[in-house]
């Protein structure tokens, strides 16, 4: 074998090895998440005239099978014709999906979380101009042996009204990949746990019976607004 051919093959092997390392070590990023979707969302309290608020979640995310870490982009937008006034976005995790951090947002105290949730952050969006949107990088973990849901309410800055709420909507897969570096999850899909006999899902948190996909928002929107989670707790205090 010529030295030139040996050098070419060696160089190819180095490149292939480097690519493999990069694929195995890179975390999930927003570029892999596909287009945003408002699946599982609904308007709640009436917004001011000319204001139309909603949220978007990625259609797919990727969970590292070793660390259970994943990245999610949460977007709030105003598709109306007038500025929204000061609003906030809440990012709340349920069951196997735990929100670890949201860039630029404050953690919600455990005693102020809605029933059944395990984590949450409050993001001061401020006033959104007509046609404007703001996105937040969400760091989370997902226990692939359980179901997992996320919820995005958009409220007035004091939480007295909820103009829009997406979820709690599940991420999941019906085709687990225990031997792969990462498992892709789809929005609006109940998760099938990794491992043998994964047909029956563990019932954790509020459970599937209480929060079915089609009526998930209803359980959190009793009396018409998710903001009442916090006001009711304040009255008890």
pLDDT (tens digit, 9 = 90+) per residue, 182-236? 999 999 999 988 655 444 434 433 333 333 323 333 334 433 334 444 433 444 4
Taking only the tens place, the pLDDT of each residue in 41-93 is 999 999 999 999 999 999 999 999 999 999 999 999 999 999 999 999 999 99
Structure tokens, 67 = 């660390």
Average pLDDT, the chain: 78
Nearest Cα to Cα of residue 150 among 220, 216, 97, 221 = 97
Query: 29-236 — its CATH code?
Result: 2.60.40.290
What CA–CA distance (Å, rounded) separates 176 from 143? Answer: 12
pLDDT (average), residues 121-134: 97
Give domain limits for the chain. 29-236
Return the H-helix or E-strand segment holding 163: strand 162-172
Does residue 106 come out as left (phi exceeding 0), alpha (psi in the -120 to 50 range) or beta?
beta
Query: In degrees to the nearest 10, what's the CA dihedral of 37, 141, 206, 34?
Result: 10
């Amino acid at each position: 074998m010529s030295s030139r051919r040996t050098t070419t093959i060696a160089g190819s092997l180095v490149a292939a090895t480097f690519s493999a390392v990069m694929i195995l070590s890179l975390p999930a990023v927003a570029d892999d998440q596909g287009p945003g979707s408002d699946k599982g969302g609904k308007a709640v309290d009436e917004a001011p005239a000319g204001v139309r608020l909603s949220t978007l979640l990625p259609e797919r995310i990727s969970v590292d099978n070793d660390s259970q870490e994943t990245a999610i982009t949460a977007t709030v937008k105003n598709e109306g014709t007038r500025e929204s006034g000061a609003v906030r976005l809440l990012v709340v995790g349920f069951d196997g999906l735990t929100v670890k951090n949201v860039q630029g947002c404050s953690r919600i105290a455990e005693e102020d979380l809605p029933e059944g949730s395990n984590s949450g952050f409050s993001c001061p969006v401020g006033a959104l101009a007509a046609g404007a949107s703001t996105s937040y990088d969400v760091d989370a973990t997902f226990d692939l042996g359980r179901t997992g849901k996320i919820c995005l309410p958009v409220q007035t800055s004091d939480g007295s009204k909820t103009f829009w709420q997406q979820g709690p909507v599940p991420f999941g897969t019906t085709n687990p990949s225990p031997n792969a570096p990462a498992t892709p999850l789809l929005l609006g899909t109940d998760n099938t746990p990794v491992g043998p006999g994964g047909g029956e899902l563990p019932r954790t948190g509020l459970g599937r019976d209480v929060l079915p996909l089609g009526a998930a928002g209803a359980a959190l929107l009793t009396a018409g607004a998710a903001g009442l989670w916090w006001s009711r707790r304040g009255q008890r205090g």
